[in-house]
Structure 1
C-alpha cells in the first residue's frame, strides 16, 4: 500500500538535528511512541535491564544531538538501510538513518528477543518501516536540505509498504 508519512523534527542540538516519522492517523511520532510504549511495558517495570537500556538510548540521542553529531563511527550497520544506535547489550533497539554528520532520522524500535531482527517480532515491523522510509528518501533524492527546520513543519513522504509490514 502507498501511505504518506510525515518527517518531523524530533530534537535539535549544537551538533545534529534529529528527525522522526509520524504515520497517518497517529498523534505521536514513531520515536515518541517507542519511548512511551517502553515506559508502559510490563517487562520494563519488572526488569532492571529495560530501564538501563532506555536511559542508554536517550543518552545516545542526547550525545548525538548536543556533543558529537551523527558520526558514522557511532552506528552499527545492519541487515537493511537503517542502522541501530550503537548499543550492543540490552534488550532494546532503536532504528535510525544517518543522512550525514549533522542529520539523523530516528524511527521506532522494539524489544530484541533473538539474534537477528527478522526473528524478533517486536523489532521487525519498526525495522521494516525504517527500511521503507529510507528507500523512499533515496528514490526521491530527499536530503537534509529538504527536511523541516523547526517542530511546526513536516516533510510529506510517500512510501510503499506491504500491508503485512505496516506497524500502525
Structure 2
C-alpha cells in the first residue's frame, strides 16, 4: 500500500525548455545601457511585451510606474547600484526590495553600467516559482543569467565602455533542431 501511495505522488515533468534568441539594446541612457532578450522570430523584446501588458493596467499601473521610475533613475542618474535589485537566484527583479507591490520585472545586473531586462508578471505567492504569472519569466531570466555568467567565465562575453561585446545569440536549454 505504501508503494502505491508513493507512485501516485510521483510527478514527471516532460516539458522541454528551449530558449532561442538574442540580447538586443533596449535603451541606452547616460549611466546604464539596458538590454532585453528577444526570442528568435519575435517582433517584440521581452521588455516590450511587459511594457505593452502593464503600462495602462488598471490594477498594476502604479506598480508599473514605480518600476519604470527606478529604471529611469538608474539610467539617468545613479547607475545600476545593487540596492535597486531583489535577488532572484542567478538574476534579479524590480522593484527594489524597499518598495512594495506585487508586479515584478525580472532582470539581471551585469554591471553598474549594464542591465538585462526581461519580462515579468504579478507575484501571487511568496516564491516566484509558485506564481503562475511570474514563473516563466523568472525561469527565463535565471537560465539566461546563468548562461551569461558562464560566457563571462569563458571570456566569450565581456563589457567595453558600457556595451556588451561577444556573442549575444543564445540557445539555452534542451534545444533540438
- CA deviation after TM superposition for structure 1 residue 157, in Å: 2.1
- Cα distance in 2 for partners of 1:83, 1:118 equals 14
Say what the alpha-carbon RMSD is for the aligned residues.
2.2
Whether 2:153 is the aligned partner of 1:144: answer no
Equivalent of 2:79 in 47, 50, 69 = 69
CA deviation map 1:100-139 (0-9, x unaligned): 1111111111111111101110001000000111111122
In structure 2, stretches of 5+ residues that fail to align are 1-16
For residues 161 and 74 of structure 1, do their structure 2 counterparts lie closer, same or farther at Cα, with a shift above 3 Å needed? farther
For these two proteins, the number of residue pairs brought into alignment is: 151
- Cα distance in 2 for partners of 1:121, 1:161 equals 22
Equivalent of 1:15 in 31, 39, 42 = 31
Which residue of structure 1 lines up, in the alignment, with residue 116 of structure 2? 105
- Cα distance in 2 for partners of 1:62, 1:161 equals 36
Is the contact made by 1:136 and 1:158 (CA closer than 8 Å) also made in structure 2? Answer: no
For residues 135 and 11 of structure 1, do their structure 2 counterparts lie closer, same or farther at Cα, with a shift above 3 Å needed? same
- So what's the TM-score if we normalise by structure 2? 0.77
